Structure 1
Amino acid sequence: MPLFVSEETRWIETPHGRLFSQRWSPAGERAETAQPPIILFHDSLGCVALWRDFPEQLCQATGRIVVAYDRLGFGQSDAYPGDLPTRFIRDEAECFFPLLRQQWQIDRFVAFGHSVGGAMAATCAALYPHSCQSLITESAQAFVEDRTLNGIRIAKAQFEEPGQMERLHKYHGDKAAWVLSAWTETWLSKAFEPWTLESSAASIQCPLLALHGENDEYGSVLHPQRIATLGTASSRSVILKNRHHVPHREAPNEVLDVVKQHLESNAG
């Protein structure tokens, strides 16, 4: 029988603006006895709302608290002051993630990131090794690959077609143009070309699961294989057959089963 899940939202004050965050909790869950919560890091065009019902499903499947938030400039959070710097992945882990933990009083945690959110989750795991109990990446990039750049160029052209920007406006409001530019122009820039995940997450000390769709249009299977090498002997990559860049939307039960197994196998 599915667990009843309660929801709560909070605003997080930062020196640059407010962040929107939301928590899903299993009924009867007590903070002092709970397993470490799962923190979700969204993708380059994402936000809390675009996770749709996956956080609730994840909460039900694992019996853990799940927390997601809109990065500055995205979703319901305040606008980002200026252009996105090339060190934005490490900035997220160093500057904003600690404020999220403080607001929700999170000590130990599981980091779960989709796409570029996977790089942010990995960076948090590397920077806070005594607190991060497990790392899960989904469709994450480990370096700037031609397939990634080609996929971004195609998406950029598609957003120039009539009506396409309305999809972003629905979730990001008047920040939509900035959101698209922050993704496309940052990744396509020469300044970002040398980036690798190792530059901010050279070593992962916790159990690591790298999920990746076999047909991901934004990255080959070299990415999860490389991510797995950053972790301990228990780290592994799982290639999801016939899946693309958003497996948690394409095949949620498949993703939930693998994640649940990973967490149960590495509990403690």
Structure 2
Amino acid sequence: MPVQDRPSDGVDVTVARGRIDIDGVGIAYQRFVGSPVAAPQDTPGAVNASAPTVVMLHEGLGSITQWRDLPEVLARRCRLDVIAYDRGGYGRSDPFPATYGDGFMTREAIEMLPAVLDGLGVARPILVGHSDGASIALIAVGMGAVSPLGVATIAPHTFIEDICVDGIRSISTQSERVICGLARHHDNPRLAFERWRDVWLTDEFRDWDITALLGDIKCPLLVLQGDGDQYGTNAQVTTIVEMAPDATGHVLANCGHVAHRDQPAQIADYLADFVSACAAVDTATSASSAMMSGASSGPK
């Protein structure tokens, strides 16, 4: 079900599609232009450098299109540019890497995400991540690879729970059906599924844990979790809220792992409010800095 905007919300949103090259890997992206001052038309991938930009990181089997209409809704309601991109091997991006090791999310966090932000000219990001994408965002900020204005997470993983491994084992028995369904969204659906399934089910990955990084995430942090999530429990929310300095968590009723599908209106409301608040703080801080700079350069 599409998310319905509030009658008074928003601006017209245009969409620019493109690819950027990151170390020889073509990364597909879409930019939903919601900022009042658009980037030059001859540089469709560029963002409005004077405003924060929302950057969306999809789940472990996700892609740009699997966000549904959420990027457009956020662009309209927040009046900001929103960028969604396909990680390597997903969606319309190049099929790389061919396999995952247990450090695949760290590589995405500290190498690929900063390169994507730099390639698209995003200097003041607000990160929105779902599932693996949420974990990648947390790693990037916790390790200091990215310094966003805020991070919003949907169904994040910070440690491995039995329910997650059991859920992946369950869908592994239906691999061909799952791969067939993914083909609508991915150029390489078998690669996307099999490398994700294989790494999550290794013995080595059972020890994966990023909770030690949470205390280093100083920016505002929003955690959203469905009460019926097939791959995680409320322990993820509790852990993040207890360990991160500026985190707020909400558990959504009647909601599974893909919260923007199950509860689209609630997710849009939480994210739009969070993103707008982060952008407002950034605007106020920038204005204050400009005033102080002007005063310091005045006559003595």
TM-score, L = length of structure 2: 0.82
Structure showing greater radius of gyration is 2
Paired with 2:100 and 2:222, the residues of 1 have a C-alpha distance of: 28
Partner of residue 205 from structure 1, selected from 214, 218, 237: 218
1:144 is matched with: 160
Q: Is 1:116 the equivalent of 2:132?
A: yes
2:36 corresponds to which residue?
28
Whether 1:50 and 2:66 are equivalent positions in the alignment is yes
Q: Deviations over 1:50-89 (max 9, x none)?
A: 1121110111122221111110111111111431121111
Structure 2 gap segments, 5+ residues each: 1-7, 39-47, 282-300
Q: Do structure 1's residue 170 and structure 2's residue 184 form an aligned pair? A: yes
**Counterpart amino acid of residue 110 in structure 2:** E
Post-superposition offset of 1:202: 5.1
Cross-structure match for 1:244: 256
- 1:69-80 equivalent positions in 2, closer than 5 A: 69-80=85-96
CA contact (8 A) 2:142 2:214 kept: yes
Worse-superposed segment, 91-100 or 121-130: 121-130
Give the Cα separation in 1 of the matches to 2:137 and 2:227.
21
CA RMSD of aligned residues (A): 1.9
Distance 1:211 1:116, change over 3 A: same
SS of residue in 2 equivalent to 1:149: helix
Check conservation: 2:142, 2:215, Cα contact below 8 A.
yes
SS class of match (1:22): strand
Corresponding position: 1:260 with 2:277: no
Structure 2 equivalent of residue 179 of structure 1: 192
Give how far 1:159 is off. 2.5
For 2:100 and 2:34, the matched residues in 1 are separated by 36
Classify 1:185/1:129 alpha carbon distance in 2 versus 1 (closer, same or farther; 3 Å): closer
Give runs of aligned pairs for residues 213-252 of structure 1, distance below 5 A: 213-232=226-245, 234-252=246-264
CA distance in 1: counterparts of 2:74 and 2:97, whole angstroms: 33
Paired position in structure 2 for 1:193? 206
Contact preservation (8 Å) 2:98, 2:191: no
C-alpha separation between the residues in 2 aligned to 1:52 and 1:138? 15
Distance 2:186 2:277 in 1: 38
Distance 1:265 1:107 in 2: 18
* CA distance in structure 1 between the partners assigned to 2:69 and 2:268 by the alignment: 12
Q: Kindly indicate whether residue 27 of structure 2 is the aligned counterpart of residue 15 of structure 1.
A: no
* 2:141 matched residue in structure 1: 125
Cα distance change of structure 1 residues 202 and 180 upon mapping to structure 2, 3 Å threshold:
farther
Q: Whole-Å Cα distance in 1 between the matches of residues 213 and 130 of structure 2?
A: 17
AA aligned to 2:63 is C
Percent identity, aligned pairs only?
Answer: 27
Contact 1:11 1:20 in 2 (8 A): yes
Spell out, residue by residue over 1:18-70, the C-alpha distance to the aligned partner (whole angstroms, 9 max, x if none). 11111111163352432x11110101111111112111011112222111111
SS in 1 for 2:233: coil
Q: Which amino acid aligns with 1:10?
A: G
Gaps of 5+ in 1: none
Partner Cα distance (2:103, 2:88) in 1:
14
Q: Which residue of 2 aligns with 1:102?
A: 118
Residue correspondences, number: 263
Any conservation in 2 of the 1:6–1:24 contact (CA below 8 Å)? yes
Separation in structure 1 between the aligned mates of residue 277 and residue 182 of structure 2, nearest angstrom: 38
Cα distance in 2 between the residues matched to 1:32 and 1:17: 25
Rounded Cα–Cα distance in structure 1 between residues aligned with 2:90 and 2:50: 33
Query: Are the aligned partners of 1:47 and 1:75 in contact in 2 as well (CA < 8 Å)?
Result: yes
